[in-house]
Amino acid sequence: MAREIKFSLVYRDMWQSSGKYVPRVDQLVRVAPAIIDMGVFDRVETNGGAFEQVNLLFGENPNTAVRQWTAPFHKAGIQTHMLERGLNALRMNPVPADVRELMFKVKKAQGTDIARSFCGLNDHRNLRLSVEYAKKAGMISQAALSITNSPVHTVEYYMGVVDKLVEYGTDEICLKDMAGIGRPSFLAQLVAEIKKKYPHIAVQYHGHCGPGFSPASMLEVARAGADYLDVAVEPLSWGKVHPDVITIREMLRADGFLVKDINMDAYMQVRALTQEFIDDFLGYWINPANKVMTSLLVGCGLPGGMMGSMMADLKPFLGAINAAERAAGRPEISLDTLMVKLFEEVQYVWPRLGYPPLVTPFSQYVKNTALMNLLDTLKGKPRWSSIDRDTWGMILGKMGRLPGKLAPEIVALAKEKGLEFYEGNPQDEYPDELPKFEAMMREEGWEEGPDREELFELAMHERQYRDYRSGIAKERFNTELEDFRAKAGAPIVIKRPVVELPEFDAEEFLKLHPEAIAVQAPVKGRILWGVDVDDDSTAPVAGTKVEAGKPLGFVDTYYGHEEIVPAVSGRVLAVMAPQGKEVVKGEIVAFIQ
């Protein structure tokens, strides 16, 4: 009798691998009936990852979104699943254990059936509490392996992780092939080993299309015993996203597997609605490059989901790099040449940093280090001159054990800086915090909400939750959207002096000023051009002289101030971030020339 392969539609990840936002809850509720009517899906990925933060950025309540989005699937008997990052839960930095435990209780109560939990370092210690808390909350625990291709990431290595996850009580294993570089034959061997040793464990495969292996990988893991495959639908399938369900279904059917039929009328409705959401507003934040597959990703192993943001990062860096080239009497390079140089540098950096799987946030750490190495070496500085605080945290073991050994020069550099390596359990470094947030809720006069879901959002995303409650988030998003729409036909206005948020974005500014060199925020936090956060007059005006290596301003973080340091000397051309603005790491805050 033919074996059945079941499909999961990763509707959340489809969007987040394409752009900045996901559809609003009213749009999600509209598309849900058509997804159900397709009749081919046993599971739908509804939330997790950045889903909660995206809703807060809209100025909307993510708890409402999760409840309303999961409800129609439950009614139809389709399981819903979420993605969470183990130690980091639903954010980019570590989360206290009591907040992590509350997350699973809340998400189960809101209608999420399955918790897909991954650690970017494959450190099983970071996943133990995820497995235990998910099961305690009544969820299905699906522990994920972050798949990559390196000398240390062998079948034996991954099986060692699986053994611990099964010991902790996980119900399922997911192969999270976030860059799509897992070799099909290797993935088949791994699935076969899991099924041989743990036949009761369901296996689900998640692979991005970027370098082109995904269809072959899906066929091989199915043949080896996988139970579920993650797929997408047009117009967001393929590119840096996931294979389309039509192709994968037909491929498996031809190979003799039992697969459900697709209601093509419903498929076309999902396709049309998805395009409608893109046309409505989501397309403003989707980089066209994310629709393209490239074999160059095979070597560097960068995940497809970050390619769009990476190309945006490269444009301003190109100005700084070409300034260094001109100063050295060398010819300037193109953006394509810089991209290839970055890929090559990632291949150099990655093994020396211990082969961390290139998934959030470690893919960003490796990419940023490679980018700064390029800039520093072109300026005559040695490699590793500009390793940021977060990357050092990874190197020192504060986020978990690295899969491979650090290069001797990295170890020597740490000792030279007086840094200590950490051998303990990363969770032990982050004490419980729920009592603190309970007190905050009382002080603000806020209700903890059904199943304490409002308390959870404050504890998980404090700044973004406060912006949502105050209305600032909605105002900010609407202003950003209005600016995008106006720019479609309106002239770009440059203000001098520039203190308020300018009426252009970085990409448009560079078209007008290709010689401009970007100054980027070194970390996530709040812009401080001066000490008084409410004093806009402290922002530098156009024409202000700056000197390479000397602070232009600061980013206020939870641990202190980080300097904003321009790469070259010159004068301020424009300020992109006003005093007090919340910025993310790598965001352009000013231009100089």
Contact 196, 161 (CB under 8 A): no
pLDDT of the residue at 509: 65
- pLDDT top residue among 570 and 401: 401
Residues contacting 376, CB < 8 A, separation 6+:
382, 383, 385, 386
DSSP label at residue 427: G
Q: How far apart are CA 422 and CA 94, in angstroms?
A: 15
Interval 60-71: pLDDT, tens? 999 999 999 999
Please state the domain extents for the chain: 6-290, 491-592
Mean pLDDT of all residues in 149-162: 97
pLDDT surpassing 60 at residue 501: no
Residue-wise pLDDT tens digits, 419-458: 999 999 999 999 999 999 999 999 999 999 999 999 999 9
pLDDT score recorded for residue 282: 94
H/E run at residue 175: strand 172-177
Stretch 387-415: mean pLDDT: 94
Residue (of 81, 103, 88) closest to 13 by Cα position? 81
Q: What is the pLDDT of residues 233-244, one digit of tens each?
A: 999 999 999 999
pLDDT at 496 over 80: no
**Contact status, residue 130 vs residue 117, Cβ threshold 8 Å:** yes
Q: How far apart are CA 381 and CA 230, in angstroms?
A: 45
CA atoms within 13 A on the CB side of 311: 16
Check whether 252 has a pLDDT greater than 50: yes
Q: How far apart are CA 77 and CA 42, in angstroms?
A: 8
The predicted pLDDT at position 511 comes to 59
Q: Two tokens at 5?
A: 């392969």
DSSP state of 451: G
Contact indicator for 175, 203 with CB cutoff of 8 Å? yes
pLDDT at residue 287, as a whole number? 78
Across the range 181-189, mean pLDDT stands at 97
What is the pLDDT, as a whole number, of residue 19?
87
Domain 6-290 belongs to what topology?
TIM Barrel (3.20.20)
Q: Is 256 exposed, middle or buried (0-12, 13-18, 19+ CB in 10 A)?
A: exposed
Pair 48, 113: CB distance under 8 Å: no
Percent of the chain with pLDDT over 90: 65
CA distance 258 to 216: 18
pTM exceeds cut of 0.75 = yes
Q: What is the CATH number of domain 491-592?
A: 2.40.50.100
Residue 304 confidence class, pLDDT cut points 50, 70, 90 = low
Residue type at position 464: Q
Query: Token pair for residue 4?
Result: 């059945």
pLDDT surpasses 90 at 585: no
* Confidence category of residue 559, pLDDT binned at 50, 70, 90: low
Model confidence pLDDT, tens digit, residues 362-397: 988 898 899 889 888 877 889 999 898 889 999 999
Percentage of the chain lying above the pLDDT 70 cut? 90
What is the mean pLDDT of the segment spanning 191-202?
A: 98
Q: Are 204 and 226 in contact (CB under 8 A)?
A: yes
